Amino acid sequence: MTADSPQTGLTYAAAGVDTEAGDKAVELMKDAVRRTHGPQVLGGVGGFAGLYDFSEVATYRRPLLATSTDGVGTKVAIAQALDVHDTIGFDLVGMVVDDIVVVGAKPLFMTDYIACGKVVPERIAGIVRGIAAACEVAGTALVGGETAEHPGLLGEDEYDVAGAATGVVEADRLLGPDRVREGDVLVAMASSGLHSNGYSLVRAVLKHAGWGLERHVDELGRTVGEELLEPTRVYASDCLALAADDAAQVHAFTHVTGGGLAANLARVLPAGLVGVVDRASWDVPPVFRLVRELGGVPRGDLENTLNLGVGMVAVVGADGVDAALARCAALGVPAWVLGTVEAFDPTAVTDVADGDLVAGTKGVQAGAVRLVGDYRA
């Protein structure tokens, strides 16, 4: 090109990034975000960094910060296929804050990140409104976020979401394996459905069966897509209320996410103890039976992938069971006795079928979980 040749240079918009659309998305979401803000949040929406007044730490004797980060996984593909984007935020918040509450920490604030092929303001705002609504349920401030347009890497209708949160717990109220004792009882807290794990398996099953998301299933009482998009139950405030009830004697929680019930429960049991889970103690919800039957999925794969109706487990002292169940009922969370914690000598185990005993998961050398009996028909 010569110096006097006409200039027809590329713009950022021509490259696929629309900054004005991002600004419009912020305008559409900011009221929902502000509703999560208490007096501790400074600066409002749009700053480079979210500010949170942490002066309440002065009331703690030994405050411990807890942090977690996660995403939603391939459940976003269901939201995109159905063009419903205001519920996926509950899945994101649940995956993040409910990992924090497991140690007894109160989740204080959260940030989110959305990567997309094209910023559609109404879609982005819908996602963030869902995140904000879930943060309200959890009692967590949404103090910041980022939306990134990635043309060429993601399709125009594709996106992924991630988030991170920080919480605080008094050191002498920290929950976990150190508190668990032989004779403790496992109290299950019901999931709202599949939550946000195992969707690669579920989607493969549907493809194998030739089922579309629009298919109505009488046993579910709605379409397949509606069932798969059911938001994750957010347990944070309920777990904190349960832990604060000294009569419930909560020693530990486990959040049932990737890896299933046994693998996650084993992480919060100390070496030398085994959680004995009675499969007959609850009715597995229809969606899990549907996945099993449509795909011919072996029981072991189901147990190692899906929550099967148990989203959170509280490990409580034997004398605290009635109080724990009563508290859950008052909170509107279906709960039941799932099993017990017993002494465990791995060298003495001779009668356990393959897959019924789980230990050493997630790189944690801790306790074990033994699944006994059969699920209700």
342-346: long-range contacts, CB 8 A cutoff, minimum separation 24: 342/182, 342/183, 342/273, 342/274, 342/275, 342/276, 343/182, 343/272, 343/273, 343/274, 344/272, 344/273, 344/274, 344/368
Q: How many CB atoms lie within 10 A of CB 185?
A: 22
pLDDT tens per residue across span 198-229: 999 999 999 999 999 999 999 999 999 999 99
pLDDT at position 337, please? 98
pLDDT at position 41, please? 86
Q: Are strands 216-217 and 222-223 parallel, antiparallel or unpaired?
A: antiparallel
Angle at the Cα of 45 (from 43 to 50), degrees rounded to 5? 60
- Distances, alpha carbon 297 to alpha carbons 16, 188, 252, 307, in Å: 42, 24, 31, 14
| Domains defined for the chain, CATH in brackets | 17-170 (3.30.1330.10), 177-372 (3.90.650.10)
pLDDT at position 42, please? 85
pLDDT tens per residue across span 89-109: 999 999 999 999 999 999 999
Cα–Cα distance between 247 and 217 in angstroms, integer?
43
pLDDT at position 17, please? 67
Segments of the chain scoring below 70 in pLDDT: 1-8, 10-19, 22, 347-355, 360-365
